[in-house]
Amino acid sequence: MIHRRQFMQMAGWGMGLGLASGHSAWAAGFPDKPLKLIMPYPTGGGADQWARIVCGKAEKILGQPIVFDYRPGGSTTIGADAAARAPADGYTLHLIDSTAFAYVPNMRKVNYDIKAFAPVIHLGALPMALVAHPSVPAKNLQELVAYAKANPGKLNCASAGVGSPHHLIAEFFKIRAGISINHVPYKGAAQYMADLVGGQVDLAVSTLGPAVPHIQTGRIKAFGVSTAKRSSALPDVPSIAEQGFEGFDEKPWNCFVTNTGTPPEALERLRAVFRATLDDAEVLAALRKTGVEEIGTMPVNQIAEQMRLDAVKWGDVIRRAKVTMDS
């Protein structure tokens, strides 16, 4: 049965009364073909891990495969732009994070409007870690800061791209610590992690998934996590906040979205499936192992407003830090 509210939404999308019942019948069979997930990061990084954990379960419930379409680059805006242009039929999903809705739009004009996206589900918050190659002459965060102050501009710090969470959290830390470190942007975690392990770069602010295995084997070392509390994935690594930077609690977040204008029955089907997926104990355990926290805790009806609030907050930080797309 189509409720009046749903019908009025359909009408707003240019659908007349004569099409309503046919549309409902179509939605009842949703999905009847493979879905596509547009990924704004390359393979092998944290985002790729999280998406595969979630979609591996979701596609079993949906009864259709979810095909990954990688569109890295442009600090995630290439993927966001492609997703925003997709048909509003529920068959295109996108994993979007703070970079696309709070960071980059405060540094340059983007070709998409965040209102083009309809939230499906909040995935989680993403603690980051400040990590280094073992050759960096510091045993803890205070020694790192002291070394950076004594050698301004000598150290370099990798990120997953200009305007990425990795980049901006590093910039925010540099302001708090009063140090000068050079920024080296990459397309994603897999790329910068290879160079960090190889010693081509000194430092990185990294998502935990790609970093944890190398921390455990000693190929890189961790100075601190970006959240106020320690991460369950790295319980022995102190937070930056507890090492003299009180109040430091920076954790970008992400969510799955589809397109605004997606038929309401299809949207609700996606939301129900992804909700069931994130309630699955094995999925939760796998995500937590890669460092994702606060999994699925933000109500779907609050996601759009939180995106707006974060854009305001980070716009102020970006202006104060004088971060540009050339930083």
Domains annotated for the chain, with CATH where assigned, are 4-12+34-125+252-321 (3.40.190.150), 128-243 (3.40.190.10)
Output the average pLDDT for the chain: 90
In angstroms and rounded to an integer, the radius of gyration of the C-alpha atoms of the chain is 21
Q: What is the DSSP string of 205-256?
A: EEEHHHHHHHHHHTSSEEEEESSSS--TTSTTSPBSGGGT-TT-----EEEE
At 125 the pLDDT is: 92
d(CA 239, CA 262): 41
pTM above threshold 0.75? yes
Contact indicator for 187, 72 with CB cutoff of 8 Å = yes
pLDDT tens-digit series, residues 96-117: 999 999 999 999 999 999 999 9
Please say whether the beta carbons of 250 and 225 come within 8 A.
Answer: no
∠ CA 311-313-316 to the nearest 5 degrees?
Answer: 105
Give tens-digit pLDDT for 44-98: 888 999 999 999 999 999 999 999 999 998 889 999 999 999 999 999 999 999 9
Q: Compute the distance between CA of residue 219 and CA of residue 223 in angstroms, rounded to an integer.
A: 14
- Sheet containing 92-97, strands listed edge to edge, beginning at the edge strand earlier in sequence: 66-70, 35-39, 92-97, 253-259, 117-125
Q: What is the pLDDT of residue 266?
A: 98
- β-partners of residue 69 are 38
- Which residues have a Cβ under 8 Å from the Cβ of 86 and sit 6 or more positions away? 36, 38, 92, 94, 259
Indicate the angle between helix axes 189-198 and 46-62, nearest 10 degrees: 140
Give the model's pLDDT for residue 1: 39
* Coil/strand/helix, residue 159: strand
Predicted pLDDT at 28: 63
Please, which residues have CB within 8 angstroms of residue 272's CB and are 6 or more apart in sequence?
none
**In the prediction, which pLDDT does 110 show?**
94
pLDDT at 16 over 70: no
* 46-62 vs 264-278: helix crossing angle, rounded to 10: 110
